[in-house]
A and B are shown apart, each in its own frame.
Chain A
Amino acid sequence: MADLSVKIAGVEFSNPVIAASGTFGNGECYTDLYPISKLGGISCKGMTIEPKQGNPPPRIAETYSGILNSVGLQNIGVRGFIDYYLPTLKQDGNVIIANVSGATIEDYVRAAELLDQSDVDMIELNISCPNVKAGGATWGISCDGAASVTREVRKATKKPLIVKLTPNVTDITEIAKAVESEGADAISMINTLLGMRIDIRTRRPILRNNMGGLSGPAVFPVAVRMVRQCYKAVSLPIIGMGGISTWEDAVEIMLAGASAVQMGTAIFTDPYSPLKVIDGLAGYMDKNGIKSLSEIVGQCQEW
């Protein structure tokens, strides 16, 4: 069997398939189907320094080839995560990524300080959540905002730092450059695209929060394009996500420039899809004589 391992910011992953934040809980929900150690890693449910209630329902709407969500970062807080979920998660041996959000820079810093003392392997800064009024994407839509959060969190932790970017900007490469210059170790992209659906009978938005984040196969070409742009603009490793549901999608976004992938919405359609992608990648490597996935990263031959 092919060697699927990848290394990002000094962290070794047994394979490049990571469950995306907010789609896999904290690893506890799918254990009836398979051990989560089969995945390369898990990006845990987005957490904030204090517990958060989230937005009122409905929080999900189906779209053509995708979904809108407006969960609004419901979570039990960083301390709850560390005490309640992390010990079990660490037993499974794969890479544990803590996904962190905040309303203020202080929130991010306090969360990072606590996580710095914990067993998590990496921290993923979510400066791209479209579903909260304060913080979230407001940090990720300007170079200054993205740079200052990254700078302050960088001072607060020695853990490898991934910054998760929002696609809801004019030029994502400018944001990528800003976080690179402030000490990010990697970027993950793309978070969801802001969208909206309206019930034509009631004339009400389907989501109680009116708007929400679009994910699923519908956004995949946008993700590929943005990964490609950032691959050319910065030298940071990129974790690609946005609508990946097959191994072919994974290969495609890696050719664009991603060193690893996250899968989310596809898990709702088929909980086994991450394992199918892992198997498919192994078959692809064997068939094409690829010894390491690093051989294909960014190897798209543009016209």
Chain B
Amino acid sequence: MYFCEKYPVVEKRELADGIYSVVVNAPNAAKAAAAGQFANIGVPGFTLRRPISICGIDKERGTLRFVFEVRGKGTAELAKISEGDELDILAPLGNGFSIPETGRIIAVGGGIGVPPMLEISVETCERCTAIIGFRDKSRIILAEDFERNGSEVHLCTDDGSAGQKGLVTFPLADELEKGDVAAVMACGPAVMLKSVAKMCEVYNVPCQVSLEQRMGCGVGACVVCSCLTVRNGKEMYSRVCKDGPVFNAEEVKFDG
């Protein structure tokens, strides 16, 4: 069940240069939302809505949190929103993560792929190990949020200006080596997802990936946000918005 309504912004903060956290009061959408789902957000003056992952769901307060980065003119316009303004939101959309009820979960996020991983940590707390990677120290977001949930956090930066220097796949290898991992979940650049999926295959650990694609309707009608998948041995284009955004990694043809 999804909704299309104007919801008031109750909190807005800039987390890093050009990366914003926005909380809206949206009781019906919050009640229906699950980790890994997204919203398609209307921007005045633009034909297309902007798909933004859901970073936080508070069913009691009735709020949804979004963390997005200014990437172009649309998100720049979106960033002008102030507390008290209304956001035109179509949500919650798509299939989120299916989180195993027991066992250790590894949540891997790269850059602006980190926000959709936070809700996994909210649900799994100490069971969750978060491996989050950023370009450099100035781009780090949400690290304390994961810690606050009781999750172990491995912080990586490309240039080593904070945490471990290098890719998220280094700590991921260590964690997989320890064993007893129920599932790995990941969101980030395509090259990162591909490496994560490959490692999970080697260690025989189930892996779910959240994909991104240029999107139209957001609800499965227009079939523009396709990604190549293999289902029942057959290659086919699936819809990121409706069949995803979260897919089992073994279904995804990353070079498609």
Contacts and interface: CB of A to CB of B under 8 A. Distances in A.
A265 B88 CA distance: 17
A56 B256 contact: yes
A188 B237 CA distance: 29
Contacts of A200: none
A53 B213 CA distance: 17
A74 B237 contact: yes
A62 B3 contact: no
Interface residues of A, number: 36
B216 A54 contact: no
A160 B43 CA distance: 40
A60 B214 contact: yes
A24 B221 CA distance: 5
Contacts, number: 104
B48 A269 contact: yes
B2 interface: yes
Given A23-B221, A29-B219, A69-B222, A57 B214 contact: yes
A53 to B, nearest CB: 6
A92 B219 CA distance: 20
B214 A32 contact: no
B90 interface: yes
A29 B242 contact: yes
Given A69-B222, A69-B224, A269 B237 contact: no
Contacts of A83: none
A128 to B, nearest CB: 17
A65 interface: yes
Interface of A: 22-25, 28-30, 32-33, 45, 53-54, 56-63, 65-67, 69, 71, 74, 206, 216-217, 265, 267-272
Given A23-B217, A45-B221, A71-B222, 20 more contacts: A22-B222, A24-B221, A25-B222, A28-B220, A33-B2, A33-B3, A33-B4, A53-B235, A56-B237, A58-B214, A58-B224, A59-B224, A60-B48, A62-B46, A65-B47, A71-B223, A206-B214, A269-B49, A271-B4, A272-B4
Interface of B: 1-4, 42, 46-49, 74, 88, 90, 213-228, 235-237, 242, 256
